Amino acid sequence: MLGSAAPAAPLPTASTNIAAACGEKDGWSDPAPPAHIHGHTWYVGTCGITVVLIETRAGLVLIDSGPADAAAQVLANIRALGFDPKAVKWILSTHEHFDHAGGIAALQKATGAQLAVGPFAAGALRSGKSYPDDPQAALLAKYPMAPARVDRVLRDGGSLVLGGTRITAHATPTHSPGSTSWTWQSCEDGQCLTIAYADSVNTISSDDYRFSDHPERVDTARAGLRVMEALPCDLILTPHPSGSNLLARLSGQAPLIAPRACIAYAAAGSDRLAKRLEQERAAK
């Protein structure tokens, strides 16, 4: 029974060495085979973008889509694992940028799934355009997304429950205004873990944006880092697999589970923000 401590062996079509399959490729649309993460959770993204599939008793949940041109690859990976894409009941989103959410509209059309988002992402996903106060707004304007139908907006700390699996939204607006991290329980071989899909901790921007000119954005970014630092986090996933050495970890080349993983992840983001602010001060 899903949600119990029943074993969940990888399906035959799940790669046991996704790191080797991708090799040096880390492009957002570079095809990757599907891989088993833990329990009933699977990697169905590309070599450079994480897309997560969660199996429940009542259907499938997909987190993120990759860019628009990766949607077909995500669907192929779902099928390769033996699942029918029509079994995807819900799609969730980490943040409202084209490299992670650009294929959501296509996946909704292909699967019939509903879209649930965190408390501040709905406007950008419905319009297909970034928020004007996003530090990357000038860059993102060059890459509009197909508008997606948002069916549910979850509050901070709210949950989507499907087939006995509870997936909780955590507003973590470090990388973007609508950034959301997600946590859920995964059980396998008598071991139950909390998986944290922690959103990006990178505070990057368009060329002409200065964080030091927007102290409220800095405060918001820091608040998001504090939330990610405190996430229940036995097993960390990140939107770019390189952000947590994920492909190597899924391939047995590094520990899948690491104590204090979310703490270290947030600390690295905090250090990068501090260095960015120092560079801006030095450039004045």
Q: What is the pLDDT of residues 225-239, one digit of tens each?
A: 999 999 999 999 999
Q: What is the pLDDT of residues 245-271, one digit of tens each?
A: 999 999 999 999 998 999 999 999 999
Averaged pLDDT, 61-72 = 98
Averaged pLDDT, 47-59 = 98
Asked if 240 is an active-site residue, the reply is yes
Residue entry with tokens 């004045």: 284
Catalytic residue from among 97, 197, 234, 265:
97
Catalytic residue from among 36, 40, 95, 170:
95
Planar angle of CA 276, 47, 234, nearest 5 degrees: 70
Find out whether 56 and 162 touch, Cβ atoms under 8 Å.
Answer: yes
Sign of CA dihedral 117, 106, 45, 136: negative
pLDDT greater at residue 277 or residue 3: 277
pLDDT band at 284 (very low <50, low <70, confident <90, very high): confident
Asked if 175 is an active-site residue, the reply is yes
Asked if 197 is an active-site residue, the reply is no
Task: Set out the domains of the chain in order of their start, with CATH numbers.
Answer: 18-283 (3.60.15.10)
Averaged pLDDT, 133-143 = 96
Q: What is the pLDDT of residues 86-108, one digit of tens each?
A: 999 999 999 999 999 999 999 99
Find out whether 170 and 227 touch, Cβ atoms under 8 Å.
Answer: yes
In order, the DSSP letters of 192-218 are EEEEEE---------TT--GGG-HHHH
Catalytic residue from among 99, 134, 199, 234:
99
pLDDT band at 13 (very low <50, low <70, confident <90, very high): confident
Averaged pLDDT, 159-178 = 98
Q: Supply the pTM of this predicted model.
A: 0.95
DSSP 8-class letter at 67: S
Question: 158 phi and psi, to 5 degrees?
Answer: -75, 165
Averaged pLDDT, 143-170 = 98
List helix spans (H) across the chain: 18-22, 71-80, 98-101, 104-111, 122-127, 137-140, 215-229, 246-250, 261-283
Helix (H), strand (E) at residue 48: none
Residue entry with tokens 């960015």: 276
Asked if 209 is an active-site residue, the reply is yes
Taking phi over 0 as left and psi of -120 to 50 as alpha, with beta for the rest, 82 belongs to: left
Q: How many C-beta neighbours within 10 Å does residue 253 have?
A: 12
Residues 268, 284: Cα–Cα separation, whole Å: 25
CA-based R_g, the chain, Å: 18
pLDDT band at 241 (very low <50, low <70, confident <90, very high): very high
Per the prediction, the chain carries an average pLDDT of 95
Dig out the tokens for 212 from the structure: 């030091």
pLDDT band at 11 (very low <50, low <70, confident <90, very high): low
pLDDT band at 10 (very low <50, low <70, confident <90, very high): low
Instruction: Give first-to-last CA distance, the chain, whole Å.
Output: 60
Q: What percentage of the chain exceeds 70 in pLDDT? A: 96
Catalytic residue from among 170, 175, 199, 234:
175
Catalytic residue from among 100, 134, 199, 265:
100
Asked if 131 is an active-site residue, the reply is no
